[in-house]
Amino acid sequence: MREERHDVIVVGAGPAGSVTARVAAEHGLDTLLIDRNLEIGVPVKCAEGVSKEIEELVTLDKKWVCAEAKGANIYSPDGTKVVMATETMEEVGYVLERRIFDKFLASEAARAGAQVRVRTEAYDIIKEDGYAKGVYARGMEENTRIHAQVVVGADGVESRAGRWAGIDTRLPPSEVSTCAEFLMCGIELDSNFSEFFLGSKIAPKGYAWVFPKGGDCANVGLGICGDVSNEKHHAIDYLHAFVRNKFPEGKVIAEMYGAVPLSGPLNESVADGLILVGDAARHVNPLTGGGITYAMRAGEIAGDVIAKAIQENDYSKKRLKEYESRCKDKFGKRLNTGLKAKKFFFELSDKDLNTLAHSLEGVKITELTPWALLKELIKRNPKRLFGLAKMLF
């Protein structure tokens, strides 16, 4: 078996992994970024909507921005429309082309000095005295023992790297959303607005979305909670029904499937010699399912903390906990608020959702964030949403 040595090994070249690798390399660390797929960014497992907060993290490029949404329309089960429109948006400001965007982030890591290697899959972790000290990986030619001072698990939902290091990354069905999505063309849509559809018949414990991708094309998908997924009622079944009703003449040119954690952040996302980032650490808003900007921010923090740990020659769980505390300070409140709101709304019936939507008829919410929507709902339904207000505020 071939042997390699690096300062940092990052497993997974999604946004979290690539940003971690870039920042670590910028600090002068010998960094290796590996991805099991033949091509970074493929297959796409994402609705590709991202908040305008991304402008704080990277300079926008028209090559990987498909569309800029001017607002969002949310439809209740009975079709009542709630309009959210503003120039300063958070949750869905842009629709990306993840195939290009993910490659861009990986190329930024490479430009910073990181080695990037595709078709390389980690299949176990190297442990020494209880510390993660690298990974065993299989590549195109041979298996390799890759030694590193710190291992970064950026390998998605129910991270295997985390489990190998002793972190329980398993999720019960009630805390994961199973998603299906079509890239469709030949459909009629308002390219300035993203659309969201609620209701137990459309997407139980979830929602359907339509994200414009330019021209007559859009990502059309939905997610449902794992505990309501069963035989003949999988996400793909609901999606087929939604598309038949909404876009009967539309043409499907690509299919995408994935899972999104809805649990809020892991209680522990570090171990001796290991850090989890992005979906692996469950850095996803449980209410909306959005996670790209959280993943990138976590990557920035992880890369910085790793550099300090290596400089101090201290890779202990205690030392790496700085990463957890900084993530909590940066975006933990938003994720926890999203979790509380998700739990509340998952208990509402279609009738309840219709009533709430009716209370917003004629109201134009000019700050497109989930928090602005929640505040407006509570303002107009103080008695009905007293429990939610108490949880959140």
Render pLDDT for 92-130 as a digit per residue (tens, 0 to 9).
Answer: 578 999 999 999 999 999 999 999 999 999 999 999 999
Q: Which of 84, 80, 83 lies closest to 351, judged by CA? A: 80
Assess whether pLDDT exceeds 70 at residue 88: no
CA distance 87 to 71: 8
- Taking the domain 2-45+99-170+263-338, which CATH number applies? 3.50.50.60
Domain residue spans of the chain: 2-45+99-170+263-338
Predicted local distance difference test score (pLDDT) of residue 232:
78
What is the average pLDDT across 359-375?
81
Output the pLDDT for position 89. Answer: 43
Alpha carbon 375 to chain centroid distance? 24
| Pairwise pLDDT comparison (43 vs 276), residue with the higher score | 276
- Given a cut of 90, whether residue 222 has pLDDT beyond it is yes
Q: What is the mean pLDDT of the chain?
A: 93
pLDDT digits (tens, 9 = 90+) for 301-314: 999 999 999 999 99
Q: Which two tokens stand for residue 388?
A: 């939610």
* Predicted confidence (pLDDT) per residue in 48-63, tens digit: 888 888 999 999 898 9
pLDDT of residue 30: 98
pLDDT score, position 45: 79
Which whole number is the average pLDDT over 228-248? 94
- 3 pLDDT above the threshold of 90: yes
Check whether 87 has a pLDDT greater than 70: no
- Does this model's pTM top 0.85? My answer is yes
Top pLDDT among 1 and 12 is at 12
Query: DSSP of 113-140, one letter per residue?
Result: T-EEESS-EEEEEEEETTEEEEEEEE-S
Asked if residues 92 and 69 have their Cβ atoms less than 8 Å apart, the reply is yes
Structure tokens at 89: 């948006």
The answer, yes or no, to whether residue 220 has pLDDT greater than 60, is yes
Residue 25 confidence (pLDDT) above 60: yes
Q: Among the listed ranges 73-87, 158-172, 259-273, which one has the minimum average pLDDT value? A: 73-87
225 vs 70: CA distance, rounded Å: 29
